[in-house]
Chain A
């Protein structure tokens, strides 16, 4: 690079910076519109959770109510604090389940992306084909199977079926293909590293943003899953939030639904997910393999 080029580049950079603010307005504007569209119904949940039972059906939909703290108190007092138990259960199912799911997806995605072997396409098609069968169809056979194994109505019965995530494997595969250059793997192999070493030391660090996405998705999917734990669990102290809140909604033909508790519970259950998302955000910030590609 000669000295003569520099000023031109600097000038170009300055030009970009000046025009940048304006050019940033369009994408920011579009995103803000999207954000408003998405947040509006969520804000209704927040507003509704502030209303006492009396206010819920007698005030305008968007008026803020006065009963947020009493709702929260009632919810936490319901059945001696079973809501907190539900919350803990859900963390357990979602946290452990998503972690295991990310791990399984990582190894499977890596194998499918970076190795050529007989049965590769069959395996991928089978795994992805798992999406074709909806949970509604799988729930009862899975329940019968786990009953035979004596695992029904236990924490395992909710964890095990949710570890395998076809989305996760697909994501892992395309992310690994995009983010892990073959040259790096080749270099490590030449250095004499074994398969597991190559995977864990070279590929895995590069796969992290994709794995974070998989973890997040599976966490939310398990967090919000209703049908599987509904069928699997009889003991209501092992319920996750979805099933627990449902027992408040479908309170039986002769009993009133506890709407305010349901809405407060729904609101409270969004908070951990938001916190999780905020923590995971930093993994999307950096681009990682720029240095490696150049060499």
Chain B
């Protein structure tokens, strides 16, 4: 036994590295280098001379940690974080809860219409983002929304895009769009488990519900954990939902989320240096949060011996 294991490790040799090579090359080219360039940019700024028009009037100079200081001191950035954390917690709980529920339901022995509901729940993920503003405009704006009648029956001037409700409306867009993806990740993991696993429990007379709670969920824990980590990162990077709704309501600013601030700095205002620094700060916080979370659940993360 021991000899064979040892032999296995020795014979592995270069094989794992070769298997990993394509991924690592792509990583270096398209992730590591751009990140390096972003870090480089975050240490620079522009210096104008004269009117700033015409040749040679703009120079890039070293700025040390000024951009970072400005990013960290920016009250708007932290306000954005608070908004995003509250919004993110809500989205995460609802979206992952529903994804888990649907995945378990799909994997039940006697479920019907599995194929139809599977594709129906996945479909929102397939709707192109370019239609999002129009889509949600028509469903949320008071003069167009088919829900307006119902809302007004419940009391007064309900506006799904008003200051108090816009967060929930955005969360709904995120949940609607993301539940299918997460459901499929969990479902795929469940499908990898041989059906015989559950036979023993069934023979003992366990109900489907007990099987789900006692057998399936523990199997799913690694997948749930990593889906949570990815979802944490995705909600820290929330950008598409507020950007899609922004043109149709007054309640979302151009810096509502930290990533929107990065986008505004990079693409609207043209200050790539501030954008670079802010995005490094965001990435650092996301790193701390997600790896902190992983450390806490470390032993369950990969389900390997």
Contacts and interface: CB of A to CB of B under 8 A. Distances in A.
Q: Do chains A and B touch in the complex (CB under 8 A)?
A: yes
Interface of A: 12, 20-21, 23-24, 27-28, 30-32, 34-39, 41-42, 44-45, 48, 60-62, 103-105, 107-108, 110-113, 115-117, 120, 123, 125-127, 129-134, 136-138, 140-142, 144-145, 160-161, 163-164, 167, 169-171, 173-175, 177-179, 186, 189, 195, 199, 209-210, 213, 216-217, 220, 223-224, 226, 241-242, 245-246, 249, 259, 262-263, 266, 269-270, 273-274, 277-278, 281, 284, 287, 289-290, 293-294
B125 A220 contact: yes
**How many interface residues does chain B have, given as a range?**
35 or more
A249 B135 CA distance: 13
A164 B181 contact: no
A61 B145 contact: yes
A173 B283 CA distance: 24
Contacts of B287: 129, 132
B125 to A, nearest CB: 6
Contact of A120 (B16, B109, B115, B120): B16
Interface of B: 4, 8-9, 11-12, 15-17, 19-20, 22-24, 26-27, 29-31, 33-35, 37-38, 41, 98, 101-102, 104-106, 108-131, 133-136, 138-139, 144-146, 176, 179-181, 184-185, 187-189, 191-196, 203, 208, 219, 222-223, 226, 230, 233-234, 237, 239, 259, 262-263, 266, 272, 275-276, 279, 282-283, 286-287, 290-291, 302-304
Nearest to A244: B130
A144 B169 CA distance: 37
A280 B226 CA distance: 24
Contacts of A186: 4, 8
A21 B111 CA distance: 8
A184 B101 CA distance: 33
Which secondary structure characterizes the binding site on chain B?
helix
Contact of A144 (B37, B116, B263): B37
B117 A126 contact: no
A44 B145 CA distance: 11
Contact of A142 (B34, B105, B126, B222): B34
Nearest to B116: A35
A115 B19 CA distance: 10
Task: Name the prevailing secondary structure of the A interface residues.
Answer: helix
Given A111-B17, A217-B184, A287-B192, 4 more contacts: A31-B106, A137-B276, A220-B125, A242-B129
B127 A31 contact: no
Nearest to A257: B134
A179 B130 contact: no
A219 B303 CA distance: 28
B193 A24 contact: no
Contacts of B4: 186
A31 B34 contact: no
A210 B192 contact: yes
